[in-house]
Amino acid sequence: NAGVTQTPKFQVLKTGQSMTLQCAQDMNHEYMSWYRQDPGMGLRLIHYSVGAGITDQGEVPNGYNVSRSTTEDFPLRLLSAAPSQTSVYFCASSYATGTTVGEQYFGPGTRLTVT
């Protein structure tokens, strides 16, 4: 199993540009989520999904869109990049039964810089 994979590993954007961060998992997990981590800070939840076709907002959803058309993929779209979105973005997945949402597998992260 590859686990949770994220592409790209690094990205530099100019203010106003849009892009999609890719996240895929091969563990047949129902639950997937996106977090951002600013330098020296903890992780903050952006969006999450409990299954294909179902998404919901986390703590900091503004400026980001998600969709979940398949179980495997959960892309994160930045609509119009701003310097405040400079961060490391982590995708995670888990089963969605009982307490297993707490046992999440994280990807290696995408380091995004917006100039």
Q: In the complex, what is the shortest distance from the CB of residue 45 to another protein, in angstroms, rounded to a whole number?
A: 6
Q: In the complex, what is the shortest distance from the CB of residue 28 to another protein, in angstroms, rounded to a whole number?
A: 17
Q: In the complex, what is the shortest distance from the CB of residue 16 to another protein, in angstroms, rounded to a whole number?
A: 28
**Over 42-103, what HEC string results?**
CEEEEEEEEECCEEEECCCCCCEEECCCCCCECCEEECCCCHHHCEEEEEEEECCCCCHHHC
Q: Which is nearer to another protein, 7 or 18 (CB)?
A: 7
d(CA 18, CA 13): 8
Q: By the criterion CB under 8 A, which residues form the site for another protein?
A: 4, 31, 33, 35, 41-45, 48, 50, 58-59, 90, 92, 96, 98-99, 101-109
